[in-house]
Amino acid sequence: MRFVFLGLPGAGKGTQARFLSGRLQIPQVSTGDILREHVQEGTSLGIEARTYMDRGEYVPDDLVVRMVEERLQEPDATKGFILDGFPRTVPQARALDAVLAEVEAPLDGVVKFTITDPIAIRRIIGRFTCPVCKRTYHETWSPPENDRLCDDDASPLEKRTDEDALTVKRRLAIYRQQTEPLEGFYRARGLLIEVDAEAPAAEVSERLVRALAEASG
């Protein structure tokens, strides 16, 4: 199964991608996570990407497309994948089409998680992330058992560098300009599946499973 997850920053793409990845045993391919790893390791891609990410802007298409092409060639992606945060622009979507056409492996669905701006902002401002396993927590809605330590591996939780209120607002505006057009792009192909993502995470997971079952007929 091959899916794309769309939605505002904070919509819960990462949370639901982790859930579905475990359920279907297919990898979650998060371009945000891969880029942050490059930043952490100080690779040339990471050094270039950081300037865009810290401002809440998109990393140039050619860099991200190359990175995703390489990732999808890894053996675990041959049985399927969940693209979390890619594509984000029409040129990225066209590049993905070309990659998938080459291996005759079309997308099964594009899930759009819907939330309002105020909820997106509250979710991001309250988020903490484990730098090791990438699990996310929220100070109000899903706090860790021990203050600021990951429940799974006890690593100290961190805030990302793009989570201040001003940067979040810029990320929302950029999503509207550059990523929202993809909804029409995929709707026109009958691939768009909309999931209301304002409920608690477990309920959104149930809605996701139901929506995917309905879409597959």
Q: Is 50 in the site for ligand AP5 (CB under 6 A)?
A: no
Region binding ligand AP5 by CB under 6 A among candidate stretches 48-56, 146-154, 183-191, 206-214: 48-56
Is 176 a catalytic site residue? Answer: no
Reduced to 3 states, what is the DSSP secondary structure of residue 137? strand
Q: Is 39 in the site for ligand AP5 (CB under 6 A)?
A: no
The strand pair at 28-30 and 81-84 is best described as: parallel
Catalytic residue among 36, 50, 88, 123: 88
Q: Is 64 in the site for ligand AP5 (CB under 6 A)?
A: yes
Q: Is 32 in the site for ligand AP5 (CB under 6 A)?
A: yes
Q: Is 99 in the site for ligand AP5 (CB under 6 A)?
A: no
| Residue whose CB is less far from ligand AP5, 104 or 147 | 147
One-letter-per-residue 3-state SS of 162-215: CCCHHHHHHHHHHHHHHHCHHHHHHHCCCCEEEEECCCCHHHHHHHHHHHHHHH
Q: Would you say 46 and 59 are in contact if contact means Cβ atoms under 8 Å apart?
A: no
Tell me how far apart the terminal alpha carbons of the chain are, to the nearest angstrom.
Answer: 14
Q: In this chain, which of 38, 111, 123, 195 binds ligand AP5, going by CB under 6 A? A: 123
- How many angstroms separate the Cα of 133 from the Cα of each of 43, 60, 63, 190? 20, 26, 24, 34
Q: Is 56 in the site for ligand AP5 (CB under 6 A)?
A: yes
Region binding ligand AP5 by CB under 6 A among candidate stretches 80-88, 97-105, 143-151, 206-214: 80-88
Phi, psi of 52 (to 5 degrees): -75, -45
Residues in touch with ligand AP5 (CB under 6 A): 7, 9-15, 31-32, 35, 52-53, 56-59, 64, 85-86, 88, 92, 123-124, 127, 136-138, 141-142, 162, 171, 197, 200-201, 204
Active centre residues (catalytic):
13, 88, 127, 160, 171
